[in-house]
Amino acid sequence: MAFRRFFDPESGGDLRLELRPDPTPHNPANFRLLRTLGYYDPSWKEPFIVPRDLEHWRTDLVSVPTLFAWLVPKIGPHLPAAIVHDALVLADGEAVAHDGPSVTREQADVILRDAMGYLGTPVVRRWLMWAAVSLATCWHRRPRAYWRAVVLLTVFVIVALGVLATLDLLDVCDVLPWMGDHVWYQELLGGAIFAIVIPASLSLLYGSLRRAFLLAGVALAFLVHVTAAVAGVYGVYLALDGVVTWLVERRGSSVKGNLKADLAKGDL
């Protein structure tokens, strides 16, 4: 029988991923696992069984901001790996959510990356996801005041320079020396080069996570324009949806009210 990394702990056979929506007014994206799932990582002697408390543990699947859902969807071949990672990464004071080896947050991030590779997640997507969760790990490093200042500063620098480079390319201003007053394709090339050089320089601030930040920083530099466009379109959608929802709910029951009623009756 071929070796399986993901498996069903109850039967010992193939993975059976069974989920049920378990929304709350505070988090409508919650899901409950109906049976545990297991994962063998070659770097560890024991498997990881998720979750430890099947009755009470909840997951929001892939924790990705809405603006980046076009790049990393919540559903896909990476989902089992994301659920395992969700259980391995704990908030302060949170009880252990898995059975198996104890791992640090950085180790959990590497487990996610390798598990996604096993599941066939495309290389670029899984490395970008690893970079993103590693940046979140850096956000929780101690001393937190220092590391959060580092993250905010570097993100601000990359976004600000990206905006200035765009304005320079459009001949609105001329402030970045590597862009200069050249033809558009020379300015575009200069911007692309420094979209790599600047994150590479800033990544030295991140110690053992410098490779992850390099990936995250370069991705942010190249995607800042796309993200801004998506944010604009999404903002228009939210405004339109808010107006339509308000008009509809004036004539009938509230969606949130229906959800609270169903939760009170135990229908969800």
Q: What is the pLDDT of residues 161-211, one digit of tens each?
A: 988 888 888 888 888 888 877 888 888 898 999 999 999 999 999 988 999
Mean pLDDT of the chain: 87
Percent of the chain scoring above 70 in pLDDT: 92
* pLDDT score at 254: 59
- Rounded to two decimals, what is the model's pTM? 0.82
- Distances from the Cα of 100 to the Cαs of 41, 55, 96, 109, 125, in angstroms? 11, 18, 10, 16, 27
The contacts of residue 87 (CB under 8 Å, 6+ apart) are 48, 50, 51, 52, 57, 59, 97, 98
Answer yes or no: is pLDDT of 268 > 60.
Answer: no
Q: Is residue 86 within 8 Å of residue 63, measured between CB atoms? A: yes
**Which of 41, 43, 47 shows the shortest CA–CA distance to 9?**
47
The contacts of residue 94 (CB under 8 Å, 6+ apart) are none
- In angstroms, rounded to a whole number, what is the distance separating the alpha carbons of residues 268 and 265? 8
Q: What is the DSSP letter of 239?
A: H
Answer yes or no: is pLDDT of 263 > 90.
Answer: no
- Apex CA 111: angle with CA 106 and CA 115, to 5°? 155
- In angstroms, rounded to a whole number, what is the distance separating the alpha carbons of residues 209 and 213? 6
- Distances from the Cα of 162 to the Cαs of 139, 185, 225, in angstroms? 22, 16, 8
Answer yes or no: is pLDDT of 92 > 50.
Answer: yes
Q: Is residue 50 within 8 Å of residue 58, measured between CB atoms? A: no
